[in-house]
Amino acid sequence: MHSGLTGCDAFAQGIGFWRLRLSRLIAATLASVTFLAGCGADTDTSSSDTSAQVPATTDAQQGVPPNSPQPPAGVEFDVLPGAGGDSVFAEFDVSQNVTTGTIRSVAQAETVAILKYARDTYPDASKVFVGGWVPAADGSVEERQVLNAEYERATLEKINFDQIDPATIWEIRDGGTVHTELQ
């Protein structure tokens, strides 16, 4: 069984996910401001400049080979380059089904799908981080992380995704934590 991270390592990984969420919020805000600023702009179409018509590549599309499989529904992927290879961050909302066992089973199956997609889509990734989020228990809009699992490339290469029991996927992680709600 995996011992998980403690102290500074767990804190640092948690900060990484918060930084990722903050960067998404900032990007969405900037996109909204840009859109709103464009609404009042001059709409002269006589210009031959077509550079504004080319769609921008998002972080999720960077480094994805053409004809790669579709990502699992509801999962956000980001890739950060690193000296030892790219780090892939995948986040999803943990389903709030009726029973704890069902919630855990769905989250484990989602983790398997994320890891398979990441292994096949990001060949330069040295690590994959899987984050699962649930709404706060008091009904507020705050989310809290209940899954922060790290998988090294070597671990991903050993997984037989056609035969793995999803119930064991968190036991083979290389780092991170699984909240007691999912155990």
Q: How far apart are CA 170 and CA 183, in angstroms?
A: 10
Q: How far apart are CA 86 and CA 147, in angstroms?
A: 21
pLDDT value at residue 87: 97
pLDDT value at residue 144: 87
Contact call for residues 132 and 107 (beta carbons, < 8 A) = yes
Global pTM reads 0.65
Q: How far apart are CA 106 and CA 28, in angstroms?
A: 29
Q: Which residue is associated with the tokens 């029973």?
A: 99
| pLDDT tens readout for residues 28-43 | 444 443 333 444 444 4
pLDDT value at residue 143: 83
Q: How far apart are CA 97 and CA 102, in angstroms?
A: 6
- The segments of the chain whose pLDDT lies below 70 read 1-66, 68, 97-98, 137-141
